[in-house]
Structure formats: structure tokens, C-alpha cells
Amino acid sequence: MAHRILVLGGGTGGTLVANRLQRLYGDAASITVVDRDDAHVYQPGLLFVPFGLAEPGEIVRPRHAQFRDGIDFRVAEVESVDIAENTVHLMDGSDVHYDVLVIATGASLQPGETEGLSGPEWGRSIHTFYSLEGASALRRSLDGFEGGRLVVNVIDMPIKCPVAPLEFCFLADWQLRLRGLRDQVELTFVTPLDGAFTKPVASARLGALLGEKGIRVEAEFATGRVDAAAGTLHSWDEREISYDLLVTIPVHGGPEYIGRSTGLGDGLGFVATDRHTLQSKAAANIFVIGDAADVPTSKAGSVTHFEGETVVENIQRFLEGDELTGCYDGHANCFIETGFHKALLIDFDYEAEPLPGRFPESHLGPLALLAESRLNHMAKLAFQPLYWHVLLPGHNIPGVSSEFHPVAAPPTEERSGALR
Amino acid sequence: MNTVTLAGATVEVDAEGFLVQPEQWNERMAEEIARANGIEALTDRHWQVISFMRNTYLQTGSAPSVRSLGKTSGVPIKELYELFPKGPSKLAAKIGGIPKPRGCI
């Protein structure tokens, strides 16, 4: 009998795993993907929407069109997972049984978790660009913004793409300069972290860039509540920051069905997952890919992409009764838009922090790590077609390995002048 | 790797003063670390959080974030900041003798 493989979530991880498994098994597996809607958003594009640098229509495609023939795609909400019965209950009352379950439902935005955030000012003076509606509403507000205090605020970690709030600051600085408004705007980045980023060398480099651009950083600010009527953010330790326009990244958690599925998730709704095999800790036949997992690396598309190989390999091993391979190493890489048609690139894993160097070949590049360049910006723009046509179908990107390769430090003079 | 003397014993710590080997820790050390970080006396409420952090770390290999502590430790976030000013998760981990929480990636 064909293996019954059920994939929850038709985003980056669910799509690429389903396509890889279909190519591997053909008719020997019956693969079903369930998602609550049929709109696949290219999430890295959300950053550009508020500035009119991308149109919402350019970054959304139907989910069903991204799957290989032979994959069954269903639109439905998940009610819960019954681990003991190998069954997923759907909101429409039907049940789906599985031999292997892949959880790829990502992280959800939870503005309601923060007092005062999601009231009548939501979409007016309080915005987020982490959803398509949010990014579009923010564009309207930014268009009408003539000056004042613009505050970009991360409420709490973990969040998707931890560099995106910084990129938003860099792009806002650039776009406000183009409009001749930069002098009238006080731009502040408010973060619960003790610096610009989580890893020390990159944090120092990004912190310096913020300083050069006149962006103030308020660090170690754990947002407790928002007074939307007064336009103030309040930290748990009773500091206060005033804003005219707030761009917030709400707290993230797992989707609600995780909480309704006994034994599956942690307190925040992320799925307890082995960081190397990507098997869930709740059951041997449940695997987790992408933002849904509680593994200690960034919640980012690159992570999901690199995890894909391990998840597919281990599903195959599990079905054949073989021992799993523990090969996922936490590899992540991110382009960081810095404005003025430039970007920075960082590359790291569970253990190694992002360092200066070259990527993907350690001496040749052609891309510069942890240094601004136009080529990095071009590579970021060139990535969208690769996403739809190479990554989602489940192919490897030529020259880019799922495994992290530490940088071999180039001579120092080369480092400072890299590809400017 | 640095070593420091706590409660009469020599222990390994990282650059920020977090114990590297949780098994080297004891409750007298906790009192000393707390005092060095501005907490004069550890109350039962402090201990509730410290024990929860330590047990979670020893069972799962990672320490909870503040938000997670607020949901699961039985102590609300507001009070966590009163007990452990500035960074409840970091400070409770340091006092509880476990490595710095890696929750924020």
C-alpha cells in the first residue's frame, strides 16, 4: 500500500517537502497537503510593499499551482492532531489518517498578546509589515507621513526573519531622504535584545550601520503594553517611548491547533523538535520543518530550505525502518537590505556566528559576507524567481549547500574593500 | 574559559558570568550570584522561578524566555520584572547556574 503522507501547511516548507517527496516516491506515496487558504505569499517581498518598491500582487501566487501533479491539495482549517491515532481532525468535520505527518504551519502573528496593541489604532497609527494587509495599510500611512517620531519595535523574540525590522529601518531612512523628509523624522529602533542582532559580530556591524544612518537604538526594551491613545510604548521595567507612527512586530506563536493537540507543542505553540533530525519529540512519525519548530536557529526561509533535505531523507529512513540521520546543522543565511541599492549578506549555523568573508566560495565569493555591496542587493532581488522556480519545486540552488561552511577569513585589506 | 570562586568552590563561567557546568552549582552559590547582581535576598517567589528555569533547562536543554516563563512558571511577567530587574530570564538563569538562554535567535 502507498505510504500516506500528510503535510500541514502549504507555505515554503510544506510545498518544497511535498514536491521532493512526490519526486522521490511517485505513486508509492499518497501525499496530501492541507492549508487554510490558497494564497502563497513570498514573505521576503513584504518588506518592500510599505515603500512602494513591490506591489502586493507581485508577491502572491496560488498555493495549488506550486505542487507537482499527483499531490492532493485541500483547503481546510486544522482542528487538532490526535498523535495516538495518527489522525488529523479538520474543522469541516472530516478526518485524515497518516503514516507520516509533516508539520509546516509556520508561526502566526499574535498582536492580541500585547495589551493595547490591537485596538482602534491598529492600521492607523499602529502597523505591522509582517502580513500582506498590514504592509499595504502601512504603505498608505507612510505615504501620508510628513514627519515626526517613527518607531520600529520588536515586542519579543522569536520572530520571523530577525533582520527584517533592521532592514525596514534602513529602507525607511533611505526613502525618507529621497522624499526630503529625513530631517523632520526621528527614527528609533526598539528591541528586547541587548543590541541590533542576536550574534555579537553581526550585531556590532549592524549597530554601527544604524548609527551611521542616524537611527537611534533603544535596546533591552521588553514591551509590556501600548497606550494607543497617548501614542506611547511601555516596557515591563517602566520605561516609556513616544511615537507618532509605530511599526511593530507582534509576538509570534504557533497556530492554535497546536495548543489543542495534546503533547505536541510548547507553551508558545511551537513544536518540540530534535534540532538535528527534525523529528518531533512527541511522536516518531511526525517531522517538523520551518518556523513551526522550536529549534534554536532563525525563523527564516533559508533555514526552511536547508532543512528540507534532512526532513525528506529522514522520512524515507523512517519509512524503511532505518536509523535517522542528524545532519541539519542550523544553517541560515540572509540578505539584509541596507538601502541605496545595497545589501549585506550573513551566513551562520547553530554554533558559528556570522563573520566577514565571501559566499558561497570562501575566497572567491562572489558575494561579500557582512559587508554592504550592490551585488548582494542584486542577488536579493534575483532570489524571487529562484524561490518560485527552483526552491519550491524542491531543487537545490546551484552552488549553495544545505550544510554550513565556515568562512576562511580573507586578508584584511580585501575584507574592508569588499565589492563596494 | 574563566573560573571564579563561589561559596568556597571553583567553578567555570563564560565571559558574562554564566556557569558553564550546571552540575557545579548549589544553593549557596545562588545566594552569592544574586547579591552580586543586586538582589539582596532570594524569596520563595525568586526560588519558584529559579527552580522552574533550572528544571526546564535540565529536562529540555534550553531555558524558557520571559514570555514563556510568564505563561508557564506561575509568576506573571510584571512580577518577574520586579523580582529580577531588567532581564528575568537571563538573571534567573545566571542565579540558577545554567548557561545563558539562547531563546532569542
ipTM (interface predicted TM): 0.78
CATH architecture assignment, domain A111-250: 3-Layer(bba) Sandwich (3.50)
Query: What is the DSSP code (8-state) at residue A410?
Result: P
A192 neighbourhood in chain B, CB within 8 Å: 104
Q: Do B81 and A237 touch (CB under 8 A)?
A: yes
The confidence score (pLDDT) of residue A414 equals: 39
Alpha-carbon span A358 to A353, nearest angstrom: 14
Query: What is the DSSP code (8-state) at residue A392?
Result: T
Give catalytic status of residue B100 as yes or no: no
What value does the mean pLDDT of chain B take? 90
Angle between helices B88-95 and B27-36 (to 10 degrees): 130
Nearest to A198 among B60, B81, B105 (CB): B105
Q: Which amino acid is at A301?
A: G
Q: Where are the domain boundaries for CATH 3.50.50.60 in chain A? A: 3-107+254-319, 111-250
Q: Do B66 and A220 touch (CB under 8 A)?
A: no
**Cα distance from N-terminal residue to C-terminal residue, chain A:** 58
Grade residue B16 by pLDDT with cuts at 50, 70 and 90. confident
**Partners of A127 in the β-ladder:** A247
Give me the CATH code for the A3-107+254-319 domain, please.
Answer: 3.50.50.60
Mutation for B interface: A160, A161, A268, most B CBs within 10 A? A268
Q: Do A267 and B87 touch (CB under 8 A)?
A: no
Alpha-carbon span A198 to A181, nearest angstrom: 31
Q: Where are the alpha helices (DSSP H) in A131-263?
A: 132-143, 164-178, 200-212, 256-259
The confidence score (pLDDT) of residue A326 equals: 81
User: What residue ranges do the domains of chain B occupy?
Assistant: 2-95
Hey, what's the cell of A386? 529562484
The confidence score (pLDDT) of residue A365 equals: 81
> What value, to the nearest 5°, has the Cα angle with vertex B28 and ends B23 and B30?
70
Query: What is the DSSP code (8-state) at residue A115?
Result: B
> What value, to the nearest 5°, has the Cα angle with vertex A411 and ends A408 and A413?
140
Residue scoring higher pLDDT (B99 or A419): B99
Nearest to A267 among B71, B77, B86 (CB): B71
Does B65 touch chain A if contact means CB atoms closer than 8 Å?
yes
B78 neighbourhood in chain A, CB within 8 Å: 224, 236
Hey, what's the cell of A126? 499602529
Say if residues A219 and A195 touch (Cβ distance below 8 Å). yes
Does B76 touch chain A if contact means CB atoms closer than 8 Å?
no
The confidence score (pLDDT) of residue A296 equals: 84
Question: Which run of H or E residues covers position A303?
Answer: helix A301-319
Nearest to B105 among A224, A272, A296 (CB): A296
- The per-residue pLDDT for range A269-321, each reduced to its tens digit, is 999 999 999 999 999 999 999 999 999 888 999 999 999 999 999 999 999 99
Q: Which residue of A has its CA nearest to B83?
A: A237
Does B100 touch chain A if contact means CB atoms closer than 8 Å?
no
CATH architecture assignment, domain B2-95: Orthogonal Bundle (1.10)
**In the predicted model, is pLDDT for residue B10 greater than 50?**
yes
Residues lower than pLDDT 70 in chain A: 407-420
The confidence score (pLDDT) of residue B61 equals: 79
**In the predicted model, is pLDDT for residue B68 greater than 80?**
yes
Q: Which residue of B has its CA nearest to A281?
A: B60
Long-range Cβ contact pairs of A409-413 (< 8 A, separation 24 or more): A409/A355, A409/A356, A409/A357, A410/A357, A410/A358, A410/A362, A410/A363
The confidence score (pLDDT) of residue A408 equals: 60
- The per-residue pLDDT for range A220-253, each reduced to its tens digit, is 899 999 999 999 999 998 899 999 999 999 999 9
